[in-house]
Structure formats: C-alpha cells, structure tokens
Amino acid sequence: MTSKPRDAATATSPLGLLLLAGAVATVGLLIVAPLASVFVDAFSNGPRAWWEALAHDPDTRHAIWLSLTVAPLAVLINTIFGVAAAWLVARFRFPGRSLLVSLFDVPFSVSPVVAGLALVLIFGRQGLLGPTLAWLAVKVIFAWPGLVLATTFVTLPLVVRELIPVMEAIGPEEEMAAVSLGANGWQVFWRVTLPNIRWALLHGVVLANARAMGEFGAVYVVSGHIAGATDTMPLRVEKLFQEYRTPASMAVASVLAALALLTLVAKVFIERQLETESKELEAARAPGADTDPTTGGLGP
Amino acid sequence: MKSTPPSSPPIRRGRTRTVLPGFGLSAAITSLMIVGLVIIPLAVLILRAASLGPAGFLAAAWTPRARAAYAVSLGASLAAAIISSLLGLLVAWVLVRLEFPGRRILDALVDVPLALPTAVAGLVYSTLYVEKGWLGQVLVPMGIRGAYSRLGIVLVLVFVSLPFAIRVVQPVIESLDKDTEEAARLLGASKSQTFLRVVLPGILPAVVTGFALALARALGEYGSVVFISGNMPFKTEIAPVLIVSRLEEFAYAEATAIAVVLLGMSLSMLIVVNVLQQRLARNAQ
C-alpha cells in the first residue's frame, strides 16, 4: 500500500488536480483538523495546565494506570489466542474450518455496547454466573476483570487476522523440515514459526493495543463508570466532558491522540518490514522457475 | 488425532500438514476463546431475549422510542456509509493513480480513525462544530449545525467508517489492468465512458464491500456519537445509546431486546460482506 505507484500519472491535468484537491480536503477536514485541534485545545492554557490536569487529578491518574494495565492484559490474551488460532487454521485442515474463520470476525460486526451487555448478562449480579461469582466473592462486572473481558472481545480479530494470511503465504515446508529433523513443537514454534511471523505479529499487537487503549462502548457498559476505580482513559475523557471540564478532558484526549500517532508511525515502519519480507519470500520462490524448464528461468 | 483406527485410512485430506504438532493445543485455546467469549455471550443474549416471549419481546423492542432510535441509527449509518464509500473511492483513486508530494503521508493519515479512540473523535468533533469551534464559527451562521444534531452523528460516523471504505477499494484499484483502460481510450471512448464502462465494473464489488463494512461499523458505533449527538430521544438518540440508557435504569429486558434487534442488523451485514467477498474472490480469478 505504501509502495510507489507503477506508471502513476502526475497530478498536472486539471481533472487530476481537482481529484487531488478533493482527496486532500476530505482527509484534511475529516481527519487532520480534528487531530490538530486536540493538541491545540489541550495546550491552550499552556503546558503547565496540561500537566496539572493529568498529574494532579487522582482520578485521572488512576484512569491512566488502569488503561495501562487493562489494555496490555487484553492484548496478551489476544496474542496467545491469535497465534494458536492462526496455527490451527493455517496449518491444519478440519471440518468447520471456514466457519471458524468467519467466527473470528464476529466481534467486528457486533456493537461494542451489545458485547458489553452480553457480558453483563453472564457475569453481572443478576446474570447467569452472578450467584456463583457472589458466593466466590469474585467481582467481574464493575471491576477490572470485566474491563479485560470486554476489551479482549472487541480486539479479538485483530491479531489472528494479521497472522493467517502471512502463515498461509509462508507455507508449512520449513516447519515440516524442522519436525523431520527432530525438533519438538515448541522448538519449531520459537525457532522457525515465530521468526517468520514476527512482523505480522507485531503489526497485529500494535493495532490491537491501539483499539484496546481506546475502547469505549463495551468498557462503558461493564465498568459501571466508577471514578477512581473502573474509569479507563477514554471513560475519563467522557466524564470530564460531562462535568464541563473540557480542558482537562482535552488533556487526557491529547495523550490518547499522541498514542494513536505513535501507533501509526509504528504501523508504517512495520508495514515496510512486511513488504520487504514478502518480496524476499517471492524472490526465494522465484528460483522455482529453475524447476520449470518451460520458462527457462525468465518466466514471471 | 493420534490413535487412528486401523480400518480407516491413515491418509487424511491435507495429510502433508498433519505431521506438524500442536493441533490439540491450538484447537483447545481457539475453541475456549471463541466459545467462551463469542458464542456463549451472544447465545445468552439471544436466549434472554427469547425468554421474554414474542409479545414481551415486541413490547420491549418495538416501543415508539426504540423504533425512533432504530430509524436514527439506520438513517445516519446509511448516510455515513454512502458518503464514506464515495469519498473513500475518491481518496483511494488519488492515492493509487496520482503521483504527488506527500502521498505517503496522506496514505498514513487515512488510518488515523482506526487508531484514534472514538471517544477522542467524538469529543473533538463536538468542539469543532459548536458555535465557537474552528468549523462551527463558519458553519453555524450558515445554518449548518454539526454538533448536537443528526448531521453531527453522520459526521462522526463518516470519520470512523472512512478507513474501511478506502482500504477495501485501494488494492483493487492497484490491481486494475491499465492496458484495458488505454485500449478503451484508443478505441474512442471518452474519459467518463472509460470510467463508467471499464473501470467502475471492476471496482464496484469492492466499493460495495467497503460500503457494507462501513455500514456495519457505523451501526454499532457508540463512543463518538454519544459526545456529539446530544442523545435526545426521538431526535438524535441512536440504538446503542438507548441500550445504555435502559441499562442504567436497570431495565435489562428492554436493553436485551433492543440489543438483539441491533445484533440482527449487524450480523446480516456480516453475511452480506461474506457473500460479497466470496463473489469478489471469484471475480478476481
């Protein structure tokens, strides 16, 4: 996607200029203006006020800490799931495989609010497991485990979707060679599979982390919105806004926006690595032309 | 897996792949997550709604306020998905076909809505379009209210759904055969004829898929809308907002029934996307 377009036209024709202006206006008005205004508004009272809004409010401090705990936990769970599910789908054939693959995408098309409600119906006080959890004195809804579950649900497809196409493209040959040379499962994974998929995995992890840090709807429903206890950073943004403390709200928002920008920079870098690797893979496959005498090594 | 009965042949479909270890472990982790986190919660949701009985379900899910919320949700999402598809086609086309300084930056910026928390988007949009905001001070005197209005809902939904519309169409434009276009031009077709008769049929399935993805994303969106819409019942209240306000009143039955209607809408979108993508893959071959 970031590669230079082959035989692209330069934007010198009137029509080209018009289209370019339209695209720039679209991205400028819809994306750049809001993004820029977060930082302008957040620092409108100077960096000192910005810092005080973040560091001197105990509820905001707690929200930052909670987000930094919940998001990595959800991402960790989804990394383990993503690797396992991609291994299952890309390396084995079994009945129900394509159904399973479409189930991976379900969280994308379920409203986060609906997902949160479903979790409340199971783990809430009047939910299916409510009495059991009360007896065990374990709190899931209105507590951090609920936040982790909700965040895991909404980010579920992100890692596995990155891994499946890459693992299918690489193919099982290297892993099978390792097995036939006597490597056990974990050795195959750590020495062969992981080095091959590391950039795709990182890509998925970065995307999942961005979504996890920013999740609002699902987390809103399961958190109970208790300041200083179950408010994550996005929830804190909303609460400060409701309390007419827009500058403080903007300060928290600016941290999240900076994180989003960082994510994008990482994403561009990782995509460049992925592109290089897929080209190397193609180049490694190209000597396959040697085994095909009809193309004489000149074929595509 | 391990003990194959001697009667059945030891060769399975895809036999070459089964020498690899880890089938049991990866299947266990995958099914634990899918069953535990996706199937059971959604099944419980549907069963809870079903336990209301048909009359109870209708009484909960089909109130005038709920109907108004579905209408606002569907209307705003459809409008946003149409706008996203058109703007997405424009941006994707420019990114693929034009060479200009800053193309890579524009390409990267397209992903901002995927990484920016929706709550931040909602907050910023509402401050941009109020009377004193950067855009509001120009637009509000012209009678265009982009905050606390249905237009505001459409605006944030376009923001959250735009990357889907762009990223689905972009690779398809990249893979278009430019020779066919040149041939059409050489045979005397005008630019607009070439676009409508040669280019558009090739990218239309992708545009439609992008539209469906954008619609599915917009239908479920909550975080950004709650900031900008004002959440007025019958006017600017979308279905997810109504679910949350029912929940906050501890009206679980009503919240569940409305959630099932919304779930039905989004899952039918998922099916549409799947059918379209299969057709797309078939066309590509």
Q: What is the pLDDT of residues A152-202, one digit of tens each?
A: 999 999 999 999 999 999 989 999 999 999 899 899 999 999 999 999 999
Q: Which domain holds residue B34?
A: 18-51
Q: Let me know whether B116 and B160 are in one domain.
A: yes
pLDDT value of position B230 = 81
**Residue-averaged pLDDT of chain A:** 88
Give the single-character DSSP code of B15: G
- B88 three-class SS: helix
pLDDT value of position A7 = 46
Residues in chain A closer than 8 A to B216 (CB atoms): 108-109
pLDDT value of position A293 = 43
Q: Show the tokens assigned to A282.
A: 């193609």
Separation of alpha carbons A231 and A225, rounded Å: 6
Find residue A10's DSSP bridge partners: B99
In a domain, B11, yes or no: no
Q: Which amino acid is at A33?
A: A
Separation of alpha carbons A123 and A116, rounded Å: 10
Q: Residue B221's closest chain A neighbor by CA?
A: A111
Separation of alpha carbons B213 and B267, rounded Å: 11
Give me the DSSP letters along chain A.
Answer: --SPPTTPEETTSHHHHHHHHHHHHHHIIIIIHHHHHHHHHHTTTHHHHHHHHHHS-HHHHHHHHHHHHHHHHHHHHHHHHHHHHHHHHHH---TTHHHHHHHHTHHHHS-HHHHHHHHHHHHSTTSTTHHHHHHHT---TTSHHHHHHHHHHHHHHHHHHHHHHHHHHH-SHHHHHHHHTT--HHHHIIIIIHHHHHHHHHHHHHHHHHHHHH--HHHHHHHTT-TTTT--HHHHHHHHHHTT-HHHHHHHHHHHHHHHHHHHHHHHHHHHHHHHHHHHHHHHHTTHHHH-TTTTT---
What distance in Å separates residue B69's CA from the closest CA in chain A? 15
Q: Let me know whether B111 and B221 are in one domain.
A: yes
- What pLDDT digit, counting tens, does each position of B224-265 carry? 999 888 888 998 999 999 999 999 898 999 999 999 999 999
Q: Let me know whether B111 and B243 are in one domain.
A: yes
CB-CB neighbours of A77 under 10 Å: 20
Indicate the pLDDT class of residue A61, thresholds 50, 70 and 90.
very high
Domain residue spans in chain A? 45-284
Q: Let me know whether B142 and B280 are in one domain.
A: yes
- B99 three-class SS: strand
* Interface membership of A179 toward B (CB under 8 Å): yes
CATH number of the domain within which B97 lies: 1.10.3720.10
* Interface membership of A225 toward B (CB under 8 Å): no
What distance in Å separates residue B140's CA from the closest CA in chain A? 16
- What pLDDT digit, counting tens, does each position of B115-163 carry? 999 999 999 998 888 878 888 888 888 888 888 889 999 999 999 999 9
Residues in chain A closer than 8 A to B107 (CB atoms): 1-2
* A260: pLDDT strictly greater than 50: yes
Tell which of B2, B13, B18, B26 to mutate to test the A interface (max A CBs under 10 Å): B26
In a domain, B267, yes or no: yes
Q: Show the tokens assigned to A179.
A: 């097995």
Between chain A and chain B, the number of residue pairs with CB atoms below 8 A apart is: 305
Contact B120 A152 (CB under 8 A): no
pLDDT value of position B18 = 63
Contact A23 B91 (CB under 8 A): yes
Q: How many domains does chain B have?
A: 2
The A residues from 259 to 278 touching B (CB cutoff 8 Å) are 260-261, 263-264, 267-268
Separation of alpha carbons A106 and B195, rounded Å: 35
pLDDT value of position B279 = 77
- What pLDDT digit, counting tens, does each position of A120-156 carry? 999 988 888 888 898 998 888 889 999 999 999 999 9
Indicate the residue of A2, A29, A30 with minimum beta-carbon distance to B107: A2
Phi, psi of B188 (to 5 degrees): 100, 5
Q: Let me know whether B36 and B119 are in one domain.
A: no
Q: Let me know whether B29 and B118 are in one domain.
A: no
Q: Let me know whether B44 and B58 are in one domain.
A: no
What distance in Å separates residue A72's CA from the closest CA in chain B? 16
Give the single-character DSSP code of B38: I
What distance in Å separates residue A220's CA from the closest CA in chain B? 9
pLDDT value of position A86 = 96
Q: Read off the pLDDT of each residue in A276-289 and give the average, rounded to a whole number.
A: 77
Q: Let me know whether B40 and B108 are in one domain.
A: no
Q: Which of A230-234, A283-287, B137-141 has the lowest mean pLDDT?
A: A283-287
Interior angle at CA A116, CA B257 and CA B213, nearest 5: 85
Indicate the residue of B13, B48, B262 with minimum beta-carbon distance to A93: B13
Q: Let me know whether B24 and B133 are in one domain.
A: no
Asked if A42 contacts B132 with a C-beta cutoff of 8 angstroms, the reply is: no
pLDDT value of position A256 = 96
Q: Read off the pLDDT of each residue in B47-56 and give the average, rounded to a whole number.
A: 93
The A residues from 68 to 107 touching B (CB cutoff 8 Å) are 77, 80-81, 84-85, 87-88, 91-93, 100, 102-107
CB neighbours of B267 closer than 8 A, spacing ≥ 6? A106, A109, A110
Separation of alpha carbons A18 and A21, rounded Å: 5
- Tokens 């994308």: give the residue: A108
Indicate the pLDDT class of residue B285, thresholds 50, 70 and 90.
low
Q: Let me know whether B131 and B263 are in one domain.
A: yes
* A296: pLDDT strictly greater than 90: no
In a domain, B3, yes or no: no
Contact B221 A111 (CB under 8 A): yes
Looking at per-residue confidence, does A216 or B144 come out higher?
A216
Contact B222 A111 (CB under 8 A): yes
Q: Let me know whether B122 and B39 are in one domain.
A: no
Contact B100 A20 (CB under 8 A): yes
What distance in Å separates residue A210's CA from the closest CA in chain B? 5
Contact A35 B26 (CB under 8 A): no
Kindly provide the b/e burial profile for residues A213-239, where b requires at least 16 CB atoms within 10 angstroms of the residue's own CB.
Answer: bbbbbbbbbbbbbebeebbbbbbbbbb
Residues in chain A closer than 8 A to B244 (CB atoms): 113, 220-221
Find the farthest-apart pair of alpha carbons in chain B and give their distance in angstroms, rounded.
82
Asked if B173 contacts B203 with a C-beta cutoff of 8 angstroms, the reply is: yes
Q: Which of A37-41, A219-223, A268-272, B18-22 has the lowest mean pLDDT?
A: B18-22
- B98 three-class SS: strand
Q: Read off the pLDDT of each residue in B46-53 and give the average, rounded to a whole number.
A: 94
What distance in Å separates residue B44's CA from the closest CA in chain A? 7
Q: What number is the ipTM of this complex? A: 0.86
Name which of B180, B267, B178, B169 is nearest B210 in CA terms.
Answer: B169
Asked if B232 contacts A225 with a C-beta cutoff of 8 angstroms, the reply is: no
Interior angle at CA A211, CA B114 and CA A202, nearest 5: 90
Q: Which amino acid is at A83?
A: V
Q: Let me know whether B201 and B65 are in one domain.
A: yes
Residues in chain A closer than 8 A to B95 (CB atoms): 23
Interior angle at CA B270, CA B264 and CA B276, nearest 5: 135
Contact A153 B38 (CB under 8 A): yes
Phi, psi of A45 (to 5 degrees): -100, 20
CATH class label, A45-284: mainly alpha
Contact A34 B121 (CB under 8 A): yes
pLDDT value of position A292 = 44
- What pLDDT digit, counting tens, does each position of A4-24 carry? 444 445 557 888 899 999 999
Looking at per-residue confidence, does A203 or B202 come out higher?
A203
